[in-house]
Amino acid sequence: MLATVRRLLFLALVTYPAAAAAAPVTLKMTYYTSDRSNVYQCFVRPFVDAVNNAGAGVVDINVLFSGGAAIPEQPKLVRDGVADLAVVVAGYSPQEFPDTSVLQLPGLYRDGREASLVYARLAGEGALRDYRPYVFIGGYVSPGEDIHSRKPLTRLGDLKAQSIRVNNVVEGEALRMLGATPVMLPINRTMENLNAGRLDGVTVPDYMVFEFGFGRLTAHHYLVHLGGAALAIVMNQAKFASLPPAAQNILREYGGEWLARKTSACVAAKGQEVLAQLKADARRAVTEPSPADLATLQSVYSSVVNSWAAENPRNRELLTLVKAELARLRQEPPR
């Protein structure tokens, strides 16, 4: 009997290190809203599912929904090690992410795919200084945001005196030049202000019109294609460095350009679905700018880009980098 017990103890001691080594590393990721949101379905879920499937036995991501802090506080959760990974919205923290504003400039990118791939490449190469306190895993830029208002909005002149929620200061400047009063608010604080009448409308890409309840209150949709919103998945540097190389490689493989392509295709398809739904609803007015208004928009967007570039040498350097990357991207065969 004693011999049997000794044999079992020996086997347990021998096999324990191997079993412990096989246990996957669990990473805690915070996401600021629910798994029903389109951002989660198009951006977070594809990444998490791909990593967890490819990394079975190596790395596992556990997502905490409505997690931890307000949207502008998500970067701090990662820096402080409270979370291993988080989704950050650069426009809500312009002081922390000044370089990323180059991805939000209106009229510079043909669509969200272009902007997203430029984002992934520049941030992945370390050209955007904003991400040096983190490990940049992946990001995307939404399609150009449209204006969704409670008030009639069929021409640029209708924007005068309307208070419109914006995603970032660049977008706010464009709307200010168009006669509106921009109000920068995190998206999950917008509905209460819209409902209370403190806002007349919101800027969001079309695929988000019905998220957070905006579509219930807005019936006038003006397709101005302002600059997009930049979102990123960032990781705590120390945590990333502590991971085995296999886990690091898996995170890299399903971030970067893979995630940018995946997300931009998903949000573009959802945007087309929502736009068709809006146009089919007789209670709504969906308006493309007239040729005259389109010319005004293009002039304003060009002015916003030029003014932004003139603010400092760093902005001019970033704009040059983006234009060079866009030229390379546009010469690549379609993928």
Is the pLDDT assigned to residue 42 strictly greater than 50? Answer: yes
| Range 24-142+228-269 has CATH code 3.40.50.720 | no
**55-91 pLDDT tens trace:** 999 999 999 998 667 888 999 999 999 999 999 999 9
Looking at residue 67, its pLDDT comes to 65
| Range 146-227+283-331 has CATH code 3.30.420.40 | no
Is the pLDDT assigned to residue 137 strictly greater than 80? Answer: yes
146-156 average pLDDT score = 97
Domain ranges of the chain: 24-142+228-269, 146-227+283-331
**91-101 pLDDT tens trace:** 999 999 999 99
Looking at residue 68, its pLDDT comes to 66
Neighbours of 141 (CB within 10 A): 31
In contact, 82 and 236? CB cutoff 8 Å? no
Closest CA to 177 of 301, 310, 306: 301
pTM of this prediction exceeds 0.75: yes
Residue 23: band (very low, low, confident or very high) from pLDDT cuts 50, 70, 90: confident
CA distance 142 to 205: 7
Average pLDDT value for the chain? 92
Rounded to 10 degrees, the C-alpha dihedral 235/254/270/300 comes to 60
Is the pLDDT assigned to residue 113 strictly greater than 70? Answer: yes
286-308 average pLDDT score = 97
Using only C-alpha atoms, the chain has a radius of gyration, in whole angstroms, of 23
Q: Are 24-142+228-269 and 146-227+283-331 in the same CATH fold?
A: yes
Looking at residue 22, its pLDDT comes to 57
- Residue 89 contacts by C-beta under 8 Å, 6 or more apart in sequence? 71, 72, 74, 167, 186, 187, 229, 230, 231
